[in-house]
Amino acid sequence: MDTLTRLKQLMKQKKMSTYKLAQESGLPLSTITSLFRKGNCPTIPTLEGLCAGLGISLSEFFYEPGDEIPNDEETKQLLAKWNMLSLMEKKVIFDVINIVIDDENSKENL
């Protein structure tokens, strides 16, 4: 399921309008309406704000019935620490992860 379809689904489940989501998430209404109008995929920080407005975690946003939920202690600790970070800190960590993965992939192709 694509991101905007999932967002619409969650908004419908929670009986939440775009206006209410903007209020709850702290994001400008224009940002949310623009996502739907243009069909753009939200950035990670925007998606985190939307999830906060919906009262769910980022992992819950992407959860689909039948998905296995990681239950090991290391993953629980990682998620707990992730949830303590600011949106900017999460973006930095996400960028670092992408750099590490891209670097590993480029080494494999040598």
pLDDT score recorded for residue 57 = 87
pLDDT score recorded for residue 65 = 67
End-to-end CA distance of the chain: 35
Taking the C-alpha atoms of residue 41 and residue 75, their distance in angstroms, rounded to an integer, is: 26
Taking the C-alpha atoms of residue 26 and residue 35, their distance in angstroms, rounded to an integer, is: 15
pLDDT score recorded for residue 69 = 64
| Residue 18 pLDDT exceeds 80 | yes
pLDDT score recorded for residue 66 = 67
- Tell me if residue 66 falls in helix, strand or coil: coil
Name the CATH superfamily, with its identifier, for domain 3-62: lambda repressor-like DNA-binding domains (1.10.260.40)
pLDDT digits 0-9 by tens, 47-90: 999 999 999 888 888 877 666 666 788 888 888 888 888 888 88
Per-domain boundaries in the chain: 3-62, 73-108
